[in-house]
A and B are shown apart, each in its own frame.
Chain A
């Protein structure tokens, strides 16, 4: 086993080409797959998260380097120090707080059940008993569902992406994501979906950082930038541009 490891390391070091940004850039991970927060159109990364992070970085006087990866890989990248933070509607949860430290929240939202248009069976989160529900792998919505008192009666399916399409196709009965994204998708995209009932849990999104000296310093810097942007009204403007409403204040 030792030889195997040693040889692997040798091979690793031979092929490795260092490519780490250390020049004051802030390296931000996002999936590029969460409309309208982070998505790609004709090869251009866009969305609410991109605009907010650009503003934050500008306020900090740093350059941003975006790293897109499948959502399930993002926290791995953060843990391995490959990125400095994640801008992908990351909800502050107890579990994540054990592993990471968070900036001040910059999005206040709620968890929302979404069904195929015309589905009258599901009018809220209580109706999910006995149903199949899609959520994104590693997302907070998965944890929210699993914490419901009747969680064992729900068939929770986790996906890396495309939960909206599978619900529209009728392969699952519903999906759960945040209310603003869901509303925006229903409004702008050609999928037969509708909101089912009110939101069932408050969620607050913030940027996670590693709990190290550098992580804490960067977090403080980001917090200062966020409150400056809040005061200037920039956060509200970006939110209204994307959602027609201010989701950056409680």
Chain B
């Protein structure tokens, strides 16, 4: 058991910090796209829109039923084998696509649950005073559903940030890839990975703080 090489760790901090933006970029782009897709899926499922509903069910089933790594390999290495034009998709795009589809499948279910969770009597009350369907959605259902879905959606975002560590298998050097390469050059694994771990941790802590603030704001109207 040797002492930790603190100098090495300090030297590594600026290097690894340089890869943090890419990690965050992958996750936040993935999150925005996944949210859009998930909302669409949730609405399709709630309203049972014909044709789209069965498609959505299959989509969700597939992307929840297979590991993210398998999906990433499928997009990046598998599909170009069938359609060589798909080689234009680079590793970063493939990663974002994989994250988007994988997490939208999970998030769609959370959002659907949150929408369905708003009591039916509220819909009836709103319609009885002459609100249109879109007014009902915007003013009654969505504000309440957002509040319910927020904690789980935040959980998925945190999970997504950590899932970007798979991108190195697609040749995308993000935070984890950079750490692995530094570690296998220096063989100082503990030092390298602890620096990376602290970085992920700080990012997630900041998000948790943000989530707390958001929740307080969204809950204001409902606190009693």
Contact = CB atoms under 8 A, between A and B. Distances in A.
Contacts, number: 118
Interface stretch (A3-11, A126-134, A234-242): A3-11
Contacts of A119: none
Nearest to A81: B87
Nearest to A29: B171
A4 B58 contact: yes
A190 B3 CA distance: 12
A197 interface: no
A43 B55 contact: no
B41 interface: no
A81 B84 contact: yes
B2 A12 contact: no
Nearest to A33: B184
B180 A16 contact: no
A80 B77 contact: yes
A73 B88 contact: no
Residue with the highest number of chain B CB atoms closer than 10 Å, among A20, A39, A185? A39
B86 A12 contact: yes
Interface residues of A, number: 43
A58 B86 CA distance: 31
A40 B182 contact: yes
A20 B89 CA distance: 9
Nearest to B87: A81
B171 A4 contact: no
Contacts of A16: 86, 88-89, 93
Interface of B: 2, 11, 15, 18, 33, 55, 58-59, 62, 73, 75-77, 79-81, 83-84, 86-91, 93, 96-97, 100-101, 168-171, 173, 177-178, 180-189
